[in-house]
Amino acid sequence: MGLSEKQAKHDLEIISQENNLTLSKEQTEAVIHISTSKDRFSAVQGLAGTGKTYMLNATREVLEKNGYEVIGASFTGKAAEGLQTDAKIKSTTIHSLLNKLEKEAGNSILGEDFSHKIKWDFEGLTASQKPEVWVIDEAGLTDNNIMVNLQEAAKLKKAKVVLVGDYQQLAPVGAGNSYSNLVQSGEISTCYLSDIRRQKDETLLKAVYESVKGDINKSLELMSDRIFEIKSPVKRIKAITKEYTLLSTSEQEKTIVLTAKNKDRIAINDSIRKTLIKKGKLEQGKEYTIQTGKANECKRNFAVNDKIIFFKNDYKLGVMNGQTGNVIEINDKSLIINSNDKNIEINLENYNHFDHGYAMTTHKAQGITANKVIINMDSSQKQLNSRNNYYVDISRAKNEVSIYTNSKCKIDQQVSLFARKLSLNNFKRKDDSLKVKISRKIDYENKLYLSIKNLARKIDDVNKIKIKYNK
């Protein structure tokens, strides 16, 4: 199923010379690992900013040179877009891939809501003439149900599946945490990328390392002069707005504002827009009816130069959920938006799933890189202030991070622990497949509980003997 190590190394050396690639030792080992693996399922566990897509571009070249078709997919449209743009791997969301495979098997249902499917019928699906490798990016966001369906389809297609992600970033929204369980239990062949290359500022680089691999207190200490405590939410948003709008237009293009909740995202976007209008850098624009969620219709004004973010995949338009762009023209019922160096005309009668994009939620930001990141952290949103979120937030930036919070003390406590999903269902590689098993962590905790309970009984028995002897 895989290449020989000799062949993979030889081809990688030629491709690196031809394309002027400068792969690190870890990245080279990852390319060889993926290319030579005999397993149907393998994994690459890489920290944020270790150049996973750069490595995947080289991997694609090696595999294609040896007759493989490389297909990309991710849980989010934004990650799929990045995989396609940066690694040159033709990519879609995992849902779209599974929908396509069901259709290929002849089992799709006409008129079905394909965007909300949770089960697919792959009976009759057969292998392609050309061997396939499926690269699943941001695999840490893939829940158990999606993983099971992906497994079933891959077996029928006889495709190799490479799960690429970072289990220390955000966990899946759905049930289970398959990627994390697989990698941490050692039940899947895995290589690791830990050499962070994204951060150009040395202090920020150290802070990111400490946030994920070291002492969280050291990370916060390194960031201390960039953490600003402002108790009032209104004044805090005003301060965030001031920092953003004082930047030049070119600097704003390379800056993102992150926050945990949608309500804060909307408030920050409104504040930034009002200030840009007041400064004469943006017009009020035209009012349009947009949809920011499953049923959240509202009215927003858009003008030329407005920053926007898309909320729904539309392959006919060529846009994906989480993709960003800039408005370059407005008409009565349409907008023209430049995104990824391509102009996209949006007819609002057919598509209106977008909003202002100066600020976005952390979930939308996973997979994004910016020169500067401004972060809003509210201690009242305790469940959203995990170490995972803090790590994702600060690791988006290459050069500079600013954090605004209502309470430094509370935030320090809240980001001290990684958020973990405990699940009874886990996945195990056996006989070239993945099978559901009881979570080792839960099993360990149960054994620990029983050990403590037995120890307590023994102590109680000893005390009874002492009492009897004393009498």
Query: Is pLDDT at 133 greater than 70 in this prediction?
Result: yes
The whole-number pLDDT of residue 466 equals 38
Tell me the pLDDT band of 240, cut-offs 50, 70 and 90: very high
- For the packed helices 5-19 and 25-36, what is the interaxial angle rounded to 10 degrees? 130
Residue 272's closest CA among 252, 298, 290, 291? 252
pLDDT-above-90 percentage for the chain? 70
Its sign, for the CA torsion 242, 246, 250, 254, is negative
Asked if the model's pLDDT at residue 341 lies above 50, the reply is yes
Q: Are strands 324-330 and 334-339 parallel, antiparallel or unpaired?
A: antiparallel
pLDDT band at residue 312 under the 50/70/90 scheme: confident
Closest residue by Cα to residue 393 from 373, 417, 413: 373
Res. 170 pLDDT band, cuts 50 70 90: confident
**Average pLDDT value for residue range 242-255:** 96
**Mean pLDDT on 360-370:** 89
Q: What is the pLDDT of residue 294?
A: 63
User: Using one digit for the tens of pLDDT, what is the confidence trace for 271-290?
Assistant: 999 999 999 999 999 999 99
Q: What is the pLDDT of residue 367?
A: 82
Rounded mean pLDDT of 5-21? 94
Q: How confident is residue 445, by pLDDT bands cut at 50, 70 and 90?
A: very low
Mean pLDDT of the region 365-386: 92
pLDDT at 444: 40
CA-CA distance, 240 to 358, in Å (whole number)?
11
Q: Is the pLDDT of residue 453 over 80?
A: no
Give residue 422's identity as a one-letter amino acid code: L
Average pLDDT value for residue range 347-364: 93
Residue 260: its pLDDT value, please?
A: 94
Tell whether the model's pLDDT for residue 114 goes beyond 90: no
How many whole angstroms separate alpha carbon 79 and alpha carbon 48? 13
What is the mean predicted confidence (pLDDT) over 408-428? 74
78 vs 241, higher pLDDT: 241
Q: Which residue has the tokens 């349409």?
A: 334
Query: Which pLDDT does position 112 carry in this prediction?
Result: 75
Instruction: Flag whether pLDDT at 428 surpasses 80.
Output: no
Predicted confidence at residue 24, as pLDDT, reads 95
In the predicted model, what is the mean pLDDT of the chain? 87
pLDDT at 14 over 90: yes
Q: Please tell me which residue, 423 or 101, carries the higher pLDDT value.
A: 101
- pLDDT tens across 377-401, in order? 999 999 899 999 999 999 999 999 9
Of these ranges, 13-27, 77-91, 314-328, the one predicted with the greatest mean pLDDT is: 13-27
Nearest in space to 183 (alpha carbons), one of 387, 363, 46:
46
| pLDDT value of residue 108 | 85
118: which residues sit within 8 A by CB, 6+ positions away?
A: 145
The pLDDT-based confidence of 421 (bands split at 50, 70, 90) is low
Pick 414 or 428 by higher pLDDT.
414
Q: Express each pLDDT in 75-101 by its tens digit.
A: 888 888 889 989 999 998 899 999 999
On the question of pLDDT at 125 being above 80, the answer is yes
Q: What is the pLDDT of residue 307?
A: 96
State how far the Cα of 321 lies from the Cα of 80, in Å rounded to an integer. Answer: 10
Is residue 24 packed enough to be buried (19+ CB in 10 Å), middle (13-18) or exposed (0-12)? middle
Distance, CA of 36 to CA of 40 (rounded, Å): 11
CA 24/CA 341 separation, integer angstroms: 29
Does residue 15 surpass a pLDDT of 70? yes
Q: What is the pLDDT of residue 447?
A: 44
pLDDT in tens, 204-219: 999 999 999 889 999 9
User: How far is the C-alpha of 148 from the C-alpha of 287, rounded, in Å?
Assistant: 44
Most confident segment among 75-79, 92-96, 192-196, 422-426: 192-196
Residue 311 has pLDDT above 80, yes or no: yes
Residue 427 has pLDDT above 70, yes or no: no
